Amino acid sequence: MTALAFQTLYQIIIMLMIILVGMFCYKINLISKETNERLSNLVLMLINPIVIFVSYQREFDPTLLKGLMISLVLALITHIMAILIAYLLLRKNKQEADHAIERFAIVYSNCGFIGIPLVNGILGGIGVFYITAYMTIFNLFIWTHGVIIMTGKKDKKTLITAFRSPTIIATIFGFALFVARLPVPDLIVEALSYIGNMNTPLAMLVAGVTIAQMNLRKLFTKPYNYYISFIKLILVPLLMLFLYQFFDISRDVLLTTILATACPVGATISLFAIRYKKNYIYASELFALTTLLSVITIPIVMTIAGLLVN
């Protein structure tokens, strides 16, 4: 096992342990379903944006700026390719609602909840810095293409909604200060860092409580769910890896992109399914199954990445 794979596995085991704590907290009614929804919103709307903003608080370097721009392009290509793969490989479900959920699951990864703490543990602040590009494209696509998938309608207001996302605002604001070389006072950065440090434990507790609500026996007995999981967790990230290795891309940028792509189905799939009146139980099943399987698949993908990327 490569050093990169060992680091990945080590971080995933830590996150898995916190997930198990979240499952236990739900079983003993310490964290209710309603509390979990509030914690989820706290992570998405406050803590994640703060983590992203703090990642920009570093000395300006043209190399970092170039890497960020390349990350943005890679994220754009990755999402477009995932959309095409989902269109080509997923059979049309008898229920349009379920087909929409399956396509959504292939394209949108849990790059915030799982991607940020994982890349932070493996590559440190530089990984978080580069993953902001992936999350920027993720948010733009999920509030446009994602909404179109779920509703079947094109809404001109979705792009405006995307730019109002706290994640996008934090990215734009942090990027502007980075390029303008305007450092935030250390006192403020340190205070924000304390809040940002809650990202991993809270995100994994939320994931654990969500998984605890699933029927795990039923979860593991649906063959087609494994097919979707294979496309999401193995096929898409490896195709992107094999494509990108032929280009002159820095190791940190490439590994961050592949790691974000290899993350399980995004937690937002359940929220979107509820909001747009789709099969939220099926959505939660795909989230839970891919999250559990990613304990195995992410180290595999990163092992291959470690062997191919210099």
Domain with residue 219: its CATH number is 1.20.1530.20
What's the pLDDT band for 235 if we cut at 50, 70, 90? very high
Domain count across the chain: 1
- Under DSSP, the state recorded for 278 is S
Question: Cβ neighbours of residue 192 under 8 Å, at least 6 residues apart?
Answer: 50, 53, 54
Per-residue confidence (pLDDT) for residue 1, from 0 to 100: 52
Is 259 strand, coil or helix? Answer: helix
Say what the pLDDT of residue 156 is: 66
pLDDT per residue as tens digits for the range 86-139 = 999 987 655 566 888 999 999 999 887 788 888 888 888 888 889 988 988 888
- Residue 265 sits at φ, ψ, to 5 deg, of -55, 140
Per-residue model confidence (pLDDT) at position 96:
62
Judged against a pLDDT cut of 90, whether residue 243 lies above it is answered with yes
Question: What is the percent of the chain where pLDDT is above 70?
Answer: 93
Residue whose token pair is 């990230």: 237
pTM to 2 decimal places: 0.82
CA dihedral of 266, 269, 270, 275, whole degrees rounded to 10:
140
Give the pair of three-digit tokens for residue 109.
């990864």
Say how far apart CA 280 and CA 105 lie, in whole Å. Answer: 12
Average pLDDT over residues 198-223: 83
Which residue type does 53 have? F
pLDDT confidence tier of residue 205, bands split at 50, 70 and 90: confident
- Give the residue numbers spanning the domain of 32: 3-308
Within the chain, residue ranges assigned H as helices are 3-27, 33-42, 48-55, 62-89, 96-107, 116-123, 125-142, 145-151, 158-163, 166-180, 186-196, 199-212, 216-219, 223-230, 236-244, 251-262, 268-275, 280-308
Model confidence at 2, pLDDT cuts 50, 70, 90, reads low
The predicted structure's pLDDT at residue 94: 56
Please, what is the average pLDDT of the chain? 86
Q: Is the distance from CB of 132 to CB of 171 less than 8 angstroms?
A: yes
d(CA 293, CA 301): 12
Show Cβ contacts of residue 9 under 8 Å, excluding neighbours closer than 6 positions. 1, 299
Q: In this model, does residue 216 exceed pLDDT 80?
A: no
